Chain A
């Protein structure tokens, strides 16, 4: 057991070496840390022996022989695969992907449920207020602005559905 000093003069004790051995063998240490352990191992037979034991264990773990597969292993699995279901789903999946990949031109804040609900709420209050307050033109304008996000999102959805139906009809 001894301390090793690296190029920077920092001592590496046996305890620190022992703590870092797994990472050293895993290759997850940086160059400086690896070098410190490497130099310590060269000078310390005790830590070198610990390194060799751990290295031997790693080697054995990584070369454990494979257990042979039992006969008929594949058949039961391949017989259970729902091939037809995948084939039937394929056109639907392709449509979903096509719709998903369509360019989104509405900004996220317009599509947000919070914006749409708030807008509809404001519009409802404005329409109700027309009965009690003057300035119907202004209130109608506020109501129109309020429902606008919900209207454009609905129109976009309808457009996509129409486009999807058209693609289906074209086969």
Chain B
């Protein structure tokens, strides 16, 4: 998804202290990193702080970046570790699978958009997305992050293995378990899937 060769050239310019190169890297990745942080915390202020801290850390440690790996993998690794550390520090509690209602106390049905566009499709889709994000936010962090890397960032299994520094088989098994848990949680909240 990200151009490894282009990143490497930009990073080499960063290491020479060229200011526009840092802005280029930031422009390329800020959306992805901010959204990852947002979906890990579901809080705009925390996401902003975490994402900024990630970039500040990365930009001060570029000398330690091993150019034999993809820059995107290194960046996502720092971001995921930073988010998980933040969640641990703040001891966020996760809703149990038995909690079958949304945050406003009402039960919802998660309706996937059909192929035929109807007048309510846009609204239904928006509501369904909100419910899905709510359930994702209640996944344990190690499952949430792997769902985000796979589906939101659309990284391959190999790339996820590089980011999380795990064997490919472990990544695959964890993604399967994360999806199964997500489906189970959607069902337990009466979101029709």
Report which A residues bind B (CB closer than 8 A).
22, 26, 28, 53-54, 56-62, 64-67, 69-70, 73-74, 76-78, 80-87, 89-90, 93
Interface size on B, residues (CB 8 A): 44
Q: List 24 A-B contacts (CB under 8 A).
A: A56-B112, A56-B113, A57-B112, A57-B183, A61-B132, A61-B151, A62-B154, A64-B39, A66-B31, A67-B47, A69-B30, A73-B30, A76-B56, A77-B26, A80-B56, A81-B59, A82-B59, A82-B60, A83-B17, A83-B22, A86-B15, A87-B16, A89-B15, A90-B15
Supposing A62-B154, A69-B30, A69-B31 touch, asked if A86 and B52 sit within 8 A by C-beta, the answer is: no
On whether the beta carbons of B16 and A90 are closer than 8 Å, the reply is: yes
Q: Report the separation of the CA atoms of residues A81 and B16 in the bound assembly, to the nearest whole angstrom.
A: 12
The residue among A28, A59, A61, A73 with the most chain B CB atoms within 10 A of its own CB is A61
On whether the beta carbons of A81 and B193 are closer than 8 Å, the reply is: no
Q: Which residues of A lie under 8 Å from residue B19 when comparing CB positions?
A: 78, 81, 83
Q: Which residues of B lie under 8 Å from residue A69 when comparing CB positions?
A: 30-31, 34
B53, closest chain A residue (CB): A77
Q: Report the separation of the CA atoms of residues A57 and B182 in the bound assembly, to the nearest whole angstrom.
A: 10
B23-38 near A? 1/0 per residue, CB < 8 Å? 1001000110011001
Report which B residues bind A (CB closer than 8 A).
14-17, 19, 22-23, 26, 30-31, 34-35, 38-39, 44, 47-48, 51-52, 55-56, 59-60, 62-63, 112-113, 128-129, 132-133, 147, 151-152, 154, 157, 172, 175-176, 179, 182-183, 186, 193
On whether the beta carbons of A73 and B17 are closer than 8 Å, the reply is: no
